[in-house]
Structure 1
Amino acid sequence: MHYVNNPMDLPAASPPGAAGRALHLARRAVRGLDGLSPLVDLALRLFVAAVFFNAGLTKIASWDSTLSLFENEYAVPLLPPEVAALLGTGVELFFPVLLVLGLGTRAAALVLFVFNIVAVVSYPDLGAAGLKDHQTWGLLLLVTLTHGPGALSLDRLIHRRLGHGPHG
């Protein structure tokens, strides 16, 4: 991926000598980092998807415990505990799959971003470590939400197949 206003988008003519060689090496380094961008985008999506998907698997593994948590620990606003448990588990199992595939990626990241906020608000005994985890996941989701899925995604493939070019 190539970013607009990249500081390395300097004129092709390099100054002579050591400064020119340094500028050439800097350009090569930036091109190398640009080449890694699709893998970083994918890794980021896979990491955050695994966190939410595993939480969903834990919930369905012991549904009685999950219902008990939603009845006694989690204070999800506006929803009865049974509905909150069902919707929460559904979100944790469905939207991470979309993130992994890179399909509807921005929408999936937005849903999980909001879900993450609701989780923090709904669990007053989260603690400092738990809050830090949720902040990290929120930031990773925000990167995906604002940056997009990257080149290794079904979204990008569909976008290209529809004739809209490489970005999307």
Structure 2
Amino acid sequence: MAAIIQLYRKILCLLNCGAPIADLLVRLWIANVFWKSGLTKIANIDTTMYLFEYEYAVPIVPFELAAYMAIFAELVFPVLLVLGLATRATAGALFIFNAMAVISYPTLNPVGIIQHQVWGIMLLIPLFHGAGAISLDHFINKRFPK
């Protein structure tokens, strides 16, 4: 029994050593999704404006403002995620942004809904877990302890 417990502890130690890399990979993966979307919006700004005016049912704000807010979110927040800076707030903002995208696009097909669900679940990792050891958040917390 002691040998099994010792083996289990060694496996846990190895897994714990890989956690910072896994945290970084999750942040990079999520950032890539939103970054590419932001670049697409900028590259086709006329199409973006058309979609926000006629396709997406973004509530309250004018479609132009909604389009520019989306571009901002998709180009700034991914950078913060990669850096691991203000990670929980950034992941929370992108989670809400992602949910709004689903709500405001009523004709989203089932594959698109699944994609947004995956992105939402992936955003929950940095939202609840934080950025991990390979991040500016970690560096700042170590450099300026409470």
Task: Report the residue type matching 1:143 in the other structure.
Answer: I
Structure 1 residues 100-153: Cα deviation after superposition (integer angstroms, max 9, x where no partner): 000011110011000000000011111111111101111111111000000000
Alignment partners' CA distance in 2, 1:75 and 1:56: 19
Q: State the structure with bigger RCO (CA 8 A, min sep 6), 1 or 2.
A: 2
Q: Any stretches of 5+ residues in structure 2 without a counterpart?
A: none
Question: Which one of 75, 79, 87 corresponds to residue 97 of structure 1?
Answer: 79
Aligned to 1:42: 24
> Identity percentage over the alignment?
50
Classify the secondary structure of the residue corresponding to 1:95.
helix
Structure 1 residues 57-109: Cα deviation after superposition (integer angstroms, max 9, x where no partner): 00000100100110111111111111110111111000110000000111100
Does residue 51 of the first structure (1) align with residue 33 of the second (2)? Answer: yes
Question: Which one of 85, 91, 111 corresponds to residue 67 of structure 2?
Answer: 85
Question: Which one of 91, 95, 102 corresponds to residue 113 of structure 1?
Answer: 95
1:163: Cα distance to partner?
2.8
Misfit runs of 4+, over 4 Å: none
Q: How does 1:2-81 map to 2 (within 5 A)?
A: 19-81=1-63
TM-score (norm 1): 0.85
TM-score (norm 2): 0.98
Q: How many residues align?
A: 146
